[in-house]
Amino acid sequence: MKDVNVIITGFGTVGREAARLLDERRERYRTRYGVEVRLVGVARSRTGCYDDQGLAAEVWEAFARGELAGDPACTGADFLTRTRPDVLIETGPSDYVTGGAGSVYMKTALAQGTHVIAVSKGALVADYPGLAALAKKTGAVLKISGATAAALPTVDLLEYNLAGCEAAVVEGILTGTANFVLSSMMEADIPYEEAIRRAQELGIAEPDPRFDVEGWDTACKLTIIANAAFGAGLRLDDVKRTGIAHLTRAQMDAWRQVERVPKLVGSIRRTAEGVKAAVELRLYERDHPFARVHGTTKAIRVETDAMGELLVIGGKSDPRAAAAAALKDLEHILQAFD
């Protein structure tokens, strides 16, 4: 049976869920794909763990809890060049400005032919076209579901299911934290700060939650989706952006009185001047499908030329669901091995 060696860089909330799911699904990978998927290494910011025969769950769990110090040589780009895994799952921080460590990990992996499953967004925002070109050059696969709304299919929907048509408009509720905060304020009168605290407790808020509530997270997802699915050549700065951080309880009361539901919506549109993207606060009537997207749930609506309109609601933001989306990407890579 062929071994498929996996390394996870960034071993926080989502990385640990991915490790758990990998362990739970080993038999499934044997049966379905005839491969032995082995988690051989995990890296945090300062140290990591590695075992070329596969890390025992007790080892990575102890490392995650901080009970095992780990090895400083098992983090950083050299860790990947030395160990040459078959697949990298990148779940480190999203540095939207420079791409950060995620960018270094992904470039190093792709350059040596290691398949990359990106969950962090920074590197893809900074230079998706460069990473895709590098993957093409070396024959590695670059998958990005985790970084583009995770359990809600976006890029897969556009690239696979809608491959037979042209999408003219894509719009969606793409940031679970922002939707959760808005829903909490509107539906349960929960104060803004308390709603953010609860999103942090759920493990879905970005380390700095302003990225979620100021619309940056949605703008990043739009940038990646537009570049991956439309070849748009969009930069984050090109995305018009608004957020929900300025909203007050009084404003919520006013919307309730006129039976309107606020939603933070990201959109991508093909226009005569090229592909345009924006993050806006929209007000919907209560029976609009987007008005019924509650809490951490997300949604996407696509208008196409030949397949009509599609609406997908679900794919809530959740660390385990994000890890499962990354492992969906892994299954797609394994299917190609057959």
Ligand X SMILES: NC(=O)C1=CN([C@@H]2O[C@H](COP(=O)(O)OP(=O)(O)OC[C@H]3O[C@@H](n4cnc5c(N)ncnc54)[C@H](OP(=O)(O)O)[C@@H]3O)[C@@H](O)[C@H]2O)C=CC1
What is the contact surface with ligand LTNE7NMQ in residues (CB under 6 A)?
Answer: 150, 175-177, 204-206, 212, 217, 317
Return the range that interacts with ligand X (CB under 6 A); candidates 37-45, 188-196, 249-257, 258-266.
Answer: 37-45
Give CA–CA dist 225/312, Å, rounded: 16
Cβ neighbours of residue 331 closer than 8 Å, sequence gap 6 or more? 32, 33
We find the least distance from the C-beta atom of residue 110 to ligand X, in angstroms, to be: 17
Interaction residues for ligand X, span 273-332 (CB under 6 A): 317, 319, 322
Q: Is the C-alpha dihedral spanning 229, 299, 270, 234 positive or negative?
A: negative
Q: What are the helix (H) ranges across the chain?
A: 13-24, 26-33, 57-65, 77-83, 100-111, 122-138, 155-156, 176-188, 192-202, 210-213, 216-230, 249-257, 319-337
The counts of H helices and E strands in the chain are 13, 12
Among 221, 263, 298, 316, the one annotated catalytic: 221
Q: Select the binding partner of residue 212 from ligand LTNE7NMQ, ligand X, none (C-beta < 5 to 8 A, by kind).
A: ligand LTNE7NMQ
Q: Does 91 bind ligand X (CB under 6 A)?
A: yes
Q: Which is nearer to ligand LTNE7NMQ, 175 or 227 (CB)?
A: 175
Beta carbons of 250 and 261 less than 8 angstroms apart: no
Q: Select the binding partner of residue 8 from ligand X, ligand LTNE7NMQ, none (C-beta < 5 to 8 A, by kind).
A: none
Q: Which is nearer to ligand X, 260 or 332 (CB)?
A: 332
Beta carbons of 70 and 44 less than 8 angstroms apart: yes
DSSP track, 204-237: -S-SSTHHHHTTHHHHHHHHHHHHHHH-----GG
Helix axes 26-33, 319-337, angle to 10 degrees: 30
Q: Which is nearer to ligand LTNE7NMQ, 260 or 282 (CB)?
A: 282
Q: Which is nearer to ligand X, 77 or 245 (CB)?
A: 77
Q: Does 206 bind ligand X (CB under 6 A)?
A: yes
Q: Cα angle vertex 53, ends 48, 56, to 5°?
A: 60
Give CA–CA dist 295/40, Å, rounded: 36
Q: Select the binding partner of residue 91 from ligand X, ligand LTNE7NMQ, none (C-beta < 5 to 8 A, by kind).
A: ligand X
**Catalytic: 276?**
no
Q: Is there a binding annotation on residue 10?
A: yes
Q: Which is nearer to ligand X, 291 or 323 (CB)?
A: 323
User: Which residues is 125 bridged to in the sheet?
Assistant: none
We find the least distance from the C-beta atom of residue 218 to ligand X, in angstroms, to be: 12
Q: Which is nearer to ligand LTNE7NMQ, 108 or 296 (CB)?
A: 296
Q: Does 22 bind ligand X (CB under 6 A)?
A: no
Q: Select the binding partner of residue 192 from ligand LTNE7NMQ, ligand X, none (C-beta < 5 to 8 A, by kind).
A: none
Q: Is there a binding annotation on residue 13?
A: yes
Reading the block at residue 186, the tokens are: 């509107």
Q: Which residues bind ligand X (CB under 6 A)?
A: 9-15, 43-46, 75, 91-94, 101, 119-121, 146, 150, 203-204, 206-207, 317, 319, 322
Annotated binding site for L-homoserine: 206
Annotated binding site for NADPH: 121
- The set of catalytic residues is 221
Annotated binding site: 10-15, 121, 206
